[in-house]
């Protein structure tokens, strides 16, 4: 391949330093591994396909080499000359680990560590690229964010959309934008890929309504109709269309190593117990090396299982290897997430307890065993009450297959499904596209901010129901993000630039107004709300009592928002030992480090957007909010949140329950809230609505109903 051309290698190794020699040694060693990947032998075909066609839809088994190899096959092709290849990933953990791997395979330093580095990544709150970056891994959200600055994505010669089967809203939006872009930028290439892509659906999507050069709409004939091999250079099927307009498809056969699948004979209700027993069966019976990756539903179940595993492991004799338990969930700081990729110490087995964030794209070195509980937390928008809720649901068959695919990447593996084979067969084939089950406000704002006028006409693979679109338009209007004509307002543009949901973005914009003047405090709270939770779990009665006592000094009668602010203020004021402080208050030190990170980034983004007084340009002075807010400021802070969450309000009813303004639904205060079990207040504002065995409001604060009249025309609020 061109990347390995002799001239280039000569140039790169002109003045070898110790660092570059070891990079080159690594590259040579990894090249041997790469040659054994199923995709390697298809390199020539794939490059040719993209010379002849503008769009390539590529499917191939997990581990066949799509994510790591395709960018390397093409980054030196003519259409990428002086341009970059973007590779989108659904999650930052995958974007970062793939960038690291591809940098190693190319013998390049990573990201900003050297101006000559060819590979970088960009994820929320972390841009790690250099002027020399040619291959950039980034989350879908970050690429959409880049489109705000450059709608034509001119710095890229090729966009690779990976793991398209997950069908996140952002992927669907990207595909819509790319469909338009390829007709404007004829030289640009797009690769859409996944192990389980709906190739036919995608092909139809890109083919439909494609306009031929003569301006007439045409139905394109796919060169790969019969077989992939048949299409390379075969123009006989093109109906005279310029070849570059066509969509090509390709399937890569084969995986590197086999994975044996095992099921339960009888279904179980207790997945924690079943996981525990399976983990120790593997640990005690299977030889080393062989790390274990377990898929759980969320942070809480992971932390419970971690505790149990660590307790049981203490009872093992020294005849067994040690167990190193590593949790992995979205709210963990990046450094903690990246620990899963480090090799375990000698005579130690890594046990990774993960949510579905390790389900696609990642290779965790050392993993030979996957344990799959078959469940995930899935976001579901409840149209009737107009709120997102998180529900624990069975995964789809393609998700289960992706999970299984995390084994067998470096050697043969085993996958233990904690459900029966019959249950597997009855799973939905693919996950339901997120666009059909989430609040569409963010998606619509994304479109509007990128110049889409008529969102109903925007090309989407699966158009959502009109009702959901209308609800989201109304929500954006309530947030002042859209004007009376449905066009994006200046507030809407400011919100769209922030890496936050429209609601939280609106809160920030409000707080920056001179009349409110509480941006630093609101940034502190929003940073806490951007990590899953800062509070350590308290499962037993005793732990709950201890937590109540330890957190007494932080708790604020107005509720969780101001309590979070107090926690950040106390943490930042602590100058000697923050870890110890966090432990004493049963607060996660890791989560607080993450909060500090987000806080810093948000502050700098507000600075860039000129959202704070001009004199406040220095982080340490301007963000210093260690004085607790006075009554008036506290009220203003909560009023800012009301502006962002006009639909998340409930009032106290005579029977002592809280009922939502929108939907008139009874909602209880979550036991994790500071307001749980305390004196009732006339109204509450809440950040999230979770539905487990009943409807709970999480992150709750007290509001005065009198504020609502001042803040909104009351008629805008849904009346019960
Ligand atoms: N960080 C890593 N450490 C060790 N080996 C790796 C690493 N990343 C990739 N590999 C090797 O490269 C192979 C191909 O990985 P790649 O991510 O390109 O496959 P893929 O086809 O995109 O898989 P998936 O569909 O599961 O994302 C893996 O099976 C593994 O052997």
User: How do residues 339-387 score in pLDDT, each as one tens digit?
Assistant: 999 999 999 999 999 999 999 888 999 999 999 999 998 877 665 555 5
CA pair distance 339, 113, nearest whole angstrom: 20
pLDDT reading at 227 higher than 50 = no
Q: What angle do CA 667, 671, 676 make, to 5 degrees?
A: 75
In this prediction, residue 668 carries a pLDDT of 92
Q: Which residue lies with its CA nearest to atom 17 of ligand 1?
A: 67
Is there an atom of ligand 1 within 6 Å of 398 CB?
no
Say how many Å lie between the CA of residue 116 and the centre of ligand 1.
25
- Name the more confident of 242 and 21: 21
Q: Which is the closest atom of ligand 1 to the Cα of 402?
A: 26
Is there an atom of ligand 1 within 6 Å of 363 CB?
yes
In this prediction, residue 531 carries a pLDDT of 78
pLDDT in tens, 421-430: 999 999 999 8
Which among 283, 331, 327 is positioned nearest to 303, based on CA atoms? 327
pLDDT band of residue 719 (cuts 50, 70, 90) is very low
Q: What percent of the chain clears pLDDT 70, i.e. is strictly above it?
A: 87
pLDDT band of residue 18 (cuts 50, 70, 90) is low
- Grouping H, G, I as helix, E, B as strand and the rest as coil, residue 230 is helix
pLDDT reading at 246 higher than 90 = no
Is there an atom of ligand 1 within 6 Å of 355 CB?
no
CA pair distance 162, 181, nearest whole angstrom: 18
Within 13 Å and on the Cβ side, how many CA atoms surround 300? 9
In this prediction, residue 297 carries a pLDDT of 92
- 184: enclosing H helix or E strand: helix 169-184
Say how many Å lie between the CA of residue 68 and the centre of ligand 1.
6
In this prediction, residue 688 carries a pLDDT of 84
CB environment 552-578: b (16+ within 10 A), e (fewer): eebbbebbbbbbbbbbbbbbbebeeeb
Q: Which residue lies with its CA nearest to atom 24 of ligand 1?
A: 62
Say how many Å lie between the CA of residue 242 and the centre of ligand 1.
35
CA pair distance 27, 258, nearest whole angstrom: 26
CA pair distance 66, 405, nearest whole angstrom: 13
Q: What percent of the chain clears pLDDT 90, i.e. is strictly above it?
A: 59
Say how many Å lie between the CA of residue 202 and the centre of ligand 1.
24
Write out the DSSP string of 257-314: S-EEEE--SS--S-HHHHHHHHHHHHHHHSPSS-EEEEE-SSHHHHHHHHHHHHHHHH
Is there an atom of ligand 1 within 6 Å of 157 CB?
no
Is there an atom of ligand 1 within 6 Å of 448 CB?
no
CA pair distance 675, 691, nearest whole angstrom: 18
Average pLDDT over residues 514-522: 93
Which among 567, 491, 497, 496 is positioned nearest to 525, based on CA atoms? 567
pLDDT reading at 204 higher than 50 = yes
In this prediction, residue 625 carries a pLDDT of 59
Is there an atom of ligand 1 within 6 Å of 409 CB?
yes
Say how many Å lie between the CA of residue 193 and the centre of ligand 1.
14
In this prediction, residue 717 carries a pLDDT of 46
Secondary structure, 3-state, 495-536: HHHCCCCHHHHHHHHHHCCCCCCCHHHHHHHHHHHHCCCCEC
Average pLDDT over residues 400-412: 93
pLDDT in tens, 147-165: 988 999 999 999 999 999 9
pLDDT reading at 616 higher than 60 = no
CA pair distance 535, 585, nearest whole angstrom: 9
In this prediction, residue 335 carries a pLDDT of 80
In this prediction, residue 164 carries a pLDDT of 93
Average pLDDT over residues 685-704: 86
pLDDT band of residue 49 (cuts 50, 70, 90) is very high
Q: Which residue lies with its CA nearest to atom 26 of ligand 1?
A: 62
Q: Which residue lies with its CA nearest to atom 30 of ligand 1?
A: 409
Say how many Å lie between the CA of residue 353 and the centre of ligand 1.
20
Is there an atom of ligand 1 within 6 Å of 256 CB?
yes
Q: Which two tokens stand for residue 67?
A: 């994510």
pLDDT in tens, 96-112: 999 999 999 999 999 99
Give the residue carrying structure tokens 């591809």. Answer: 102
Arithmetic mean of pLDDT over the chain = 85
Q: Which of 197, 363, 400 to mutate to test the pocket of ligand 1 (most atoms within 8 A of CB)?
A: 363
Q: Are 136 and 129 in contact (CB under 8 A)?
A: yes
Q: N- to C-terminal Cα distance for the chain?
A: 65
Is there an atom of ligand 1 within 6 Å of 283 CB?
no
Q: Which of 26, 65, 91 to mutate to test the pocket of ligand 1 (most atoms within 8 A of CB)?
A: 65
Neighbours of 621 (CB within 10 A): 9
Say how many Å lie between the CA of residue 110 and the centre of ligand 1.
18
Which among 523, 555, 550 is positioned nearest to 640, based on CA atoms? 523
Beta bridge partners of 189: 158
**Cα-based torsion angle of the residue sequence 24, 25, 26, 32 in order, rounded to the nearest 10 degrees:** 110
Least confident of 30-39, 273-282, 388-397: 388-397
Q: Are 234 and 53 in contact (CB under 8 A)?
A: no
CA pair distance 510, 637, nearest whole angstrom: 9
Average pLDDT over residues 55-66: 93
In this prediction, residue 533 carries a pLDDT of 81
- 81 to 58, 143, 181, 277, 548: CA distances (angstroms): 23, 20, 19, 54, 61
Average pLDDT over residues 68-84: 96
Q: What angle do CA 550, 555, 560 make, to 5 degrees?
A: 125
Which among 531, 579, 571 is positioned nearest to 551, based on CA atoms? 571
In this prediction, residue 332 carries a pLDDT of 80
Say how many Å lie between the CA of residue 97 and the centre of ligand 1.
10
CA pair distance 705, 407, nearest whole angstrom: 55
Say how many Å lie between the CA of residue 362 and the centre of ligand 1.
7
Q: Which of 63, 160, 357 to mutate to test the pocket of ligand 1 (most atoms within 8 A of CB)?
A: 63
Average pLDDT over residues 251-274: 90
pLDDT band of residue 15 (cuts 50, 70, 90) is very low
pLDDT reading at 496 higher than 80 = yes
Average pLDDT over residues 554-561: 92
Q: Which two tokens stand for residue 39?
A: 């995709």
Say how many Å lie between the CA of residue 408 and the centre of ligand 1.
10
In this prediction, residue 591 carries a pLDDT of 86
Least confident of 57-71, 501-515, 531-545: 531-545
Treating both helix axes as pointing N-terminal to C-terminal, what angle do 502-511 and 490-497 enclose, rounded to 10 degrees? 110
Average pLDDT over residues 605-609: 86
Average pLDDT over residues 512-534: 90
Say how many Å lie between the CA of residue 538 and the centre of ligand 1.
38
In this prediction, residue 714 carries a pLDDT of 41
The pTM of the full predicted model, rounded to 2 decimals, is: 0.80
């Amino acid at each position: 391949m061109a990347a390995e051309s002799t001239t280039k290698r000569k140039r790169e190794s002109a003045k070898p330093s110790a660092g570059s020699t070891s990079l080159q040694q690594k590259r040579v060693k990894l090249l041997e591994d790469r040659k054994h990947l199923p995709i390697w032998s298809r390199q020539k075909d794939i490059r040719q396909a993209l010379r002849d066609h503008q769009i390539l839809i590529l499917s191939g088994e997990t581990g066949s080499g799509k994510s790591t190899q395709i960018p390397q096959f093409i980054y030196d092709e003519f259409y990428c000359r002086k341009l970059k290849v973007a590779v989108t990933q659904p999650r930052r953990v995958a974007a970062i680990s793939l960038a690291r791997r591809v940098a190693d395979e190319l013998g390049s330093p990573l990201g900003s560590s050297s101006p000559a580095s060819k590979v970088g990544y960009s994820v929320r709150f972390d841009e790690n690229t250099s002027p020399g970056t040619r291959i950039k891994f980034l989350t879908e959200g970050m690429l959409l964010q880049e489109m705000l600055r450059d709608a034509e994505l001119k710095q890229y010669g090729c966009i690779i959309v990976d793991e398209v089967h997950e069908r996140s809203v952002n992927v669907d939006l990207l595909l819509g934008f790319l469909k338009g872009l390829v007709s404007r930028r004829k030289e640009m290439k797009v690769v859409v890929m996944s192990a389980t892509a709906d190739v036919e659906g995608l092909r139809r999507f890109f083919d439909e309504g494609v306009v031929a050069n003569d301006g007439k709409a045409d139905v394109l004939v796919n060169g790969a109709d019969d077989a992939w091999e048949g299409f390379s250079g075969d123009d006989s099927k093109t109906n005279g269309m310029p070849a570059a307009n066509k969509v090509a498809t390709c399937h890569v056969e084969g995986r590197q190593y086999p994975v044996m699948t095992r099921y339960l004979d009888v279904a179980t209700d207790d997945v924690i117990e079943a996981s525990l027993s399976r983990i120790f069966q593997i640990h005690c019976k299977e030889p080393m090396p062989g790390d274990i990756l377990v898929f759980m539903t969320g942070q809480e179940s992971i932390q419970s299982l971690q505790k149990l595993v660590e307790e049981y492991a203490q009872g093992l004799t020294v005849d067994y290897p040690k167990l190193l338990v590593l949790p992995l969930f979205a709210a963990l700081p990046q450094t903690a997430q990246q620990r899963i990729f480090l090799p375990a110490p000698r005579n130690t087995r890594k046990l990774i307890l993960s949510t579905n964030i390790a389900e696609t794209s990642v290779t965790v070195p050392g993993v030979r065993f996957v344990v799959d509980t078959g469940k995930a937390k899935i976001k579901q928008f409840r149209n009737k009450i107009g709120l997102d809720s998180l529900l624990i649901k069975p995964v789809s068959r393609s998700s289960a297959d992706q999970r299984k695919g995390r084994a067998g990447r470096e050697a043969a593996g085993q996958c233990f499904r904690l459900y029966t084979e019959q249950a597997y067969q009855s799973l939905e084939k693919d996950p339901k596209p997120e666009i059909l089950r989430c609040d569409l406000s963010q998606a619509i704002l994304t479109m509007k901010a990128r110049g889409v006028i008529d969102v109903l006409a925007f090309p989407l693979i699966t158009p959502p129901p009109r009702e959901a679109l209308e609800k989201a338009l109304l929500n954006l209007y309530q947030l002042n993000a859209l004007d009376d004509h449905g066009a994006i307002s200046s507030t809407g543009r400011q919100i769209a630039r922030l890496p936050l949901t429209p609601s939280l973005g609106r809160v920030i914009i409000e707080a920056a107004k001179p009349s409110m003047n509480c941006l630093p405090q609101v940034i502190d709270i929003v940073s806490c709300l951007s990590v899953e939770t800062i509070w350590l779990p308290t499962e037993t009665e005793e732990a709950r009592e201890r937590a109540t006592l330890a957190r007494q000094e932080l708790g604020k009668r107005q509720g969780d928002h101001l309590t979070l602010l107090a926690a950040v203020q106390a943490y930042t004021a602590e100058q000697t030992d923050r870890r110890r402080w966090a432990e004493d208050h049963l607060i996660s030190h890791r989560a607080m480090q993450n909060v500090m990170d987000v806080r810093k980034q948000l502050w700098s983004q507000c600075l860039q957007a000129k959202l704070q007084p001009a004199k406040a340009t220095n982080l340490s002075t301007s963000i210093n909010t260690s004085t607790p807010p006075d009554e008036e400021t506290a009220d203003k802070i909560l009023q800012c949140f009301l502006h962002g969450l006009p639909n998340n309000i409930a009032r106290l009813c005579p029977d002592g329950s809280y009922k939502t303004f929108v939907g008139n639904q009874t909602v209880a205060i979550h036991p994790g809230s500071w307001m749980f079990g305390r004196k009732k207040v006339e109204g509450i504002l809440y950040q999230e609505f979770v539905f487990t065995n009943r409807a709970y409001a999480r992150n709750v604060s007290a509001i005065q109903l009198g504020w609502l009249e001042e803040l909104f025309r009351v008629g805008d609020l849904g009346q019960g």
